[in-house]
Structure 1
Amino acid sequence: MEYTQLGRSGLKVSRLCLGTMNFGPQTQETDSHAIMDSAHQSGINYFDTANVYGGEHHRGWTEEIIGRWFAQGGNRREHTVLATKLYGTMTHLPNESKLSALNIRRALDASLKRLQTDYIDVYQFHHVDRNTPWEEVWQAVEVAVQQGKILYSGSSNFAGWHIAHAQEAAARRHYNGLISEQSIYNLLTRNVELEVIPAAQHYGLGLIPWSPLHGGLLGGVMKKERGGVRRTEGRAQETLKNHRDQIQQYEDFCDELGQEPGNVALAWLLHQPAVTAPIVGPRTQEQLDAAITALDVRLEDDALNRLDDIFPGHRSAPEDYAW
């Protein structure tokens, strides 16, 4: 396993991040624990979760599963760089969501209890809160850092100017601010190349892509559909309809490379200079094993250029759309 710094921080994380959103709703607890053990054995030390994971009727379920895994001992917590998130609505009460100082305090304590730990390595804002000033957010985070409950802060789903706003507010307080940004980023969805990636690089944030296979559409969906293994539904079905020719070209090219499509999609992200670690969210042990093999895939410049031809990206703004 390779390790790298998370943004400009001194924190070292694995080049793959284990996403846990399926733990509970899709993957039963015993299997979830086995997947986390296997991730550690493979050298993955970076785990991502969120307080809302578990489904509408059991928010917090995923954190509880992780907490019971930590409670088994064996240095599980000590060997994990733990990232969780807050923002989403946890109850019907008016102050149980977003980024007010009150919710940061309450949500953090609740996550610590569910996770059965006394600190979070990277506490992340799941979404920007347009109604709470950054001075309030950073004051609450600084208190939590002083209490030893948080070590670092990160963002998720931020626009480039949100990152800039957050970092400038932190700088005025002589505070470190954000060290990471989670965004959807894959061969099909490359909008972050316009402004989010330039902002992250300028301010020293590590980029953590989520949905690296775009809901499975970059994981060999055409081949699986022909074999009757998988049938897309909902938004994935509409996306496949709109991009069928591209995805077919992509799968044909993966065959030329002699690689599985999912491995190529992950390897492409790992070749992007701004990317720290894509989030892989396995439902099964087999899916985790498949993702780990992507670490050994090396893409030459010709292959990277061909992928750009199939899935055109963006130059940074404003050159992408202006002179």
Structure 2
Amino acid sequence: MEYGQLGRTGLKVSRLCLGTMNFGPQTTEEDSHAIMDRAHELGISFFDTANVYGWKKGEGVTENIIGRWFAKGGGRRERTVIATKLYGDMGDWPNDGRLSALNIRRAADASLRRMQTDHIDVYQAHHIDRDTPFEEFWEAMEVLRQQGKILYVGSSNFAGWHIAKAQETARRRNFLGLVSEQSHYNLLVRAPELEVIPACEDYGLGLIPWSPLAGGLLAGILRKIDKGRSATDHMVAELDKHRDKIERYEALCDEIGEDPANVALAWLLTRPAVTAPIIGPRTIAQLDGTVRALEVRLDDKALARIDEIFPGYRTAPEEYAW
């Protein structure tokens, strides 16, 4: 396993982050525990979750699964850098979601109880809250850090200017500020290259791409369909929209001699500011397969051909101005 710094911090994390969104809805608790154990065997130390995962309002299904795994002991908690998120509604009352100081306090305590731990390593805002000023956000996070309940703060789905505003507010308060940003970033979704990645580079945030395989489109979907695998209506519609690119991409992967999923992950690992793409295996076999991505080396020719298939963006404003 390869390890790197999370942004500008001294915290080292694995270059692949284990996403847990499937734990509960698609993967049983027993299998989820087995996947997390296997992740540790492979050297994956960085796990990501959220209070809303499990998709049963207020229950925190996935965090509870992780908490019962931590409770087994054996160094499971000590060897894990756990990142969770808040923002989504966990109840039906007005302050049961978003980023008010009240919800930050309540949500943090609830996540700690569910995960049976005394601190959260990286506490992330799942979305920008346009109704809460960053002064309030940072004051609440500072209190949690002083109490020892969180160590670092991250963001998710922030625009570049949100990152800048958050960091400048934190700077005025002499606070560390954001150390990471989770963005929707993959070969088919390259918009973060305009402003999010430059903001991460300038402010020293580690970028954690989510949906690195575009919901399966970059995981060899054509091959799987040819072998009789079924696809959802949504997946079929997305494939029809991008079929030419996917066909060319899978042909390139055949030439390289690597699985499309691993090429997509390996490409992300070459991108500026990227610390660790989030992988979301439903089975141990899927988890084992993704580790190969760390060994895939894409030369300049391969990277150029990938850019031909999936054109990216130059940094703003050059992309749309001079």
Same fold (TM over 0.5): yes
Q: Hey, what's the Cα distance between the residues in 2 that align with 1:265 and 1:189?
A: 12
The aligned residue for residue 163 of structure 1 is: 163
Is the Cα–Cα contact under 8 Å of residues 81 and 121 in structure 1 kept in the other structure? yes
Q: Could you tell me how far 1:58 is from its partner in structure 2?
A: 6.3
* Contact persistence 1:144–1:150 (CA under 8 A): yes
* Counterpart residue identity of residue 137, structure 1: F
For 2:245, the equivalent position in structure 1 comes to 246
Give the corresponding residue for 2:23: 23
For the residues of structure 1 that align with 2:43 and 2:294, how far apart are their CA atoms?
12
Equivalences for residues 58-137 of structure 1 within 5 A? 59-137=59-137
Q: CA deviation at 1:272?
A: 1.1
Query: Residues 26 and 283 of structure 1 are in contact (CA less than 8 Å); yes or no, is this contact kept in structure 2?
Result: yes
Q: Distance in 1 between matches of 2:238 and 2:21?
A: 22
Q: Partner of 2:176 in structure 1? A: 176
- Distance in structure 2 (CA, Å) of the matches to 1:143 and 1:258: 51
Following superposition, the deviation at residue 248 of structure 1 comes to 0.3
Supply the AA of the counterpart residue of 1:170.
Answer: A
- Give the conservation status (yes or no) of the 8 Å contact 2:7–2:273: no
Equivalent residue, structure 2, for 1:192: 192
Give the Cα–Cα distance (whole angstroms) in 1 for the partners of residues 147 and 182 of structure 2: 25
Match of 2:146 in 1: 146
Is 2:264 the counterpart of 1:265? yes
What SS does the aligned partner of 1:215 have?
A: helix
- Counterpart of 1:125, as a letter, is A
What is the CA–CA distance in structure 1 between the aligned matches of 2:57 and 2:34, rounded to whole Å? 25
Residue identity opposite 1:249 in structure 2: R
Please give the alpha-carbon distance, in whole angstroms, between the structure 2 residues aligned to 1:318 and 1:276.
Answer: 25
Write out per-residue CA displacement over residues 148-176 of structure 1, whole angstroms, 9 at most, x where no aligned residue: 00000000000000000100000010100
How far did 1:24 drift?
Answer: 0.4
The amino acid of 1:97's aligned partner reads G
- Percent identical among aligned pairs is 69
Paired with 1:59 and 1:192, the residues of 2 have a C-alpha distance of 32
Partner of 2:307: 308
CA distance in 1, matches of 2:99, 2:142: 14
Instruction: Tell which deviates more after alignment, 58-67 or 172-181.
Output: 58-67
Q: Which residue of 2 aligns with 1:7?
A: 7
CA contact (8 A) 1:152 1:179 kept: yes
- Equivalence for 2:209: 209
Change (3 A) 1:57 1:101: closer
Q: CA deviation at 1:322?
A: 1.1
Which aligned segments of 4 or more residues in structure 1 are displaced greater than 6 angstroms? none
- 1:44 aligns to what? 44
Deviations 1:100-136 (A, max 9, x none): 0000000000000000000000000000000001000
Deviation at 1:227, TM superposition (A): 1.4
Are 1:285 and 2:284 an aligned pair?
A: yes
Task: Indicate if the aligned counterparts of 1:119 and 1:149 stay in contact, CA closer than 8 A.
Answer: yes
Take 1:107 and 1:137, find their aligned partners in 2: how far apart are those partners? 13
Q: Verify the 8 A CA contact 2:249 2:309 in the aligned structure 1.
A: yes
Q: Aligned partners of 1:248, 1:58: CA distance in 2, in Å?
A: 42
Q: Secondary structure at the match of 2:40?
A: helix
For 1:228, the equivalent position in structure 2 comes to: 228
C-alpha change, 1:143 and 1:58, in structure 2 (3 Å) is closer
Q: Name the CA distance, whole Å, in 1 between partners of 2:33 and 2:204.
A: 33
Name the aligned partner's letter for residue 148 of structure 1: G
TM-fit CA distance, 1:90: 0.4
Alignment-mate amino acid for residue 184 of structure 1 = H
Count, aligned residues: 322
Matched-pair contact (CA < 8 Å) for 1:154–1:178: yes
Q: Which runs of 5+ in 1 are unaligned?
A: none
Report the CA distance between 1:223 and its aligned residue: 1.1
- After superposition, the C-alpha distances for 1:218-246 in whole angstroms (9 at most, x for unaligned) are 00001111211132322x32221111000
TM-score by length of 1: 0.98
Q: Supply the RMSD in Å over aligned alpha carbons.
A: 0.8
Unaligned runs of 5+ in 2: none
Name the amino acid aligned to 1:280: I
CA contact (8 A) 1:221 1:230 kept: no
Q: Tell me, in whole angstroms, the C-alpha distance in 2 between the residues paired with 1:29 and 1:311.
A: 37
